[in-house]
Structure 1
Amino acid sequence: MGSFGNLLLNENMKVFRRVRTWIMLAILVLISLLMPVLMREGMGSSDTLFWQPAATTVQIAFFLNTIFCVVIAAETVAGEFTWGTIKLLLIRPWSRSKILASKYLTVVGFSILSTLLVIGMAMLSSYILFSHEVSVDSSIIAADAFTRWGYLYIDLFITLAIAFMVSSVFRSGALAIGLSLFIMFTQNIFSLIFNPDRYEWAKYVLFNNMNLSKYMNSSSDMGLMNGASEGMTLGFSLAVLAAYYVIFMVISWVVFNKRDVAG
């Protein structure tokens, strides 16, 4: 475990020693702090409960957060081939599985850090600028906000798995970034084309299960109004996403272990 810990530390140092990483985090902090200011100026009032502008800020900043995390995920493996440093890793007494696991955990760790940073800064700025009265409504709004943020992270988590898989299989950071962004931009379009209400099998298509926010208030008829198709539930979509996730991870590990990565 100590050896793996050193390997994990080494991977994190690769990420956080780069100026680009800190620039990305700084941009996320700046957006998360300034968005509530812009909303406060636009509204001309601070009577709104701070949870609402905080939720809106996270929703906006999370799009950029996903892009930044995808960049990290896409280059964590492909970058080793680009820079020729993969051979230096393979000659050390670490198995390929441990090398890939350390890289993946580093990517997930960065995504958690950036997500918490966005949420924390958005809440701080909104709390300073807007009302924060405690009431029954505030508890409901807070629960709703955290639920939506959880759904956003699950979407990010799956997108990272795709980027990591493409990076591991094709050794191309550009392809991994491009494909991940393509999925981000077009998942709603593909959901319309492969509509589960028209095609029964479309319920199992990845795009139709990534936007979990459609299940907000799904305990009533509002679930269908938010875009959830009949026969699809939150549990069903989570199960489908889990299946895709396992497939992505298996492909990543099998290809990385079997291919002549030193070539």
Structure 2
Amino acid sequence: MRAEARLVAEANGRGGTRLATVYGEPPLLPRRTGNGGDHVEVHLVGGAAGPLGGDDLRIHLDVGPGAHLVVRTVAASLAQPSHPPAPSTLTITATVRGSLAWLPEPTVAVAGCDHETTSIVDLADGAELMWREELIAGRHGERPGDLTTRTTVRYAGCTILRHDLAIGAHHDAGPATIGGARAVGTLLVVGRRAPTESEVRSATAAVMPLAQGPAALVSATAPDATRLREALDGVTVNTRTHDPNAKPDICRKN
């Protein structure tokens, strides 16, 4: 299956954000779910199982100057194998001149899968970013399939992060990667909310300041998804609390 989703967020001229484009093809179905004052929130709803082997999925995000976009998913993504076996791919491209928070639920490497996620983020000078990635090594009691993430972030034309992570039967799971943990993740923060090393509250998390600041990468491992999220959110970073009044498929006017 080949599918794409596209979101374009623009400042509305009244201190808020409007969605100029909301487009999606199954299984990538974006739904506006909340308005937090200065920002707009969108959830990606899975319109079909996946990603499945053979899928080629693409997500395009464009955040204009003065706009603030938060993107979440309604549930974890299960990267699943196909018969006959085939790799699946998810490519995410983002152009950010305002503020973007990419906060999806984890991706689970189901036994037998072969999945790769590639993310390329271009930030303008002064743009802000929160970018969370969480990987779970298989469902309960199963050995994980192969799952790779490749993330490139550029700020004002300069590459500030190039991060690859791979889990699964064909990848090293030694101390240099996940050390036998079942869950691993990162939270990249660019802008005034970037944490410092003193703000880490978890023994399994670490903060790496980036050269082009203010920016920092929080990395963590954990035995499960719940404790991974606690470790990543253990720094004093506001990852934009979910709008409690959000309801799928309801579009509010600013």
Answer whether TM exceeds 0.5 for this pair: no
- Normalization by structure 1: what TM-score? 0.28
More strand by share: 2
Q: Which has the larger radius of gyration?
A: 1
- Normalization by structure 2: what TM-score? 0.29
More helix by share: 1
Greater relative contact order structure (CA < 8 Å, 6+ sep): 1
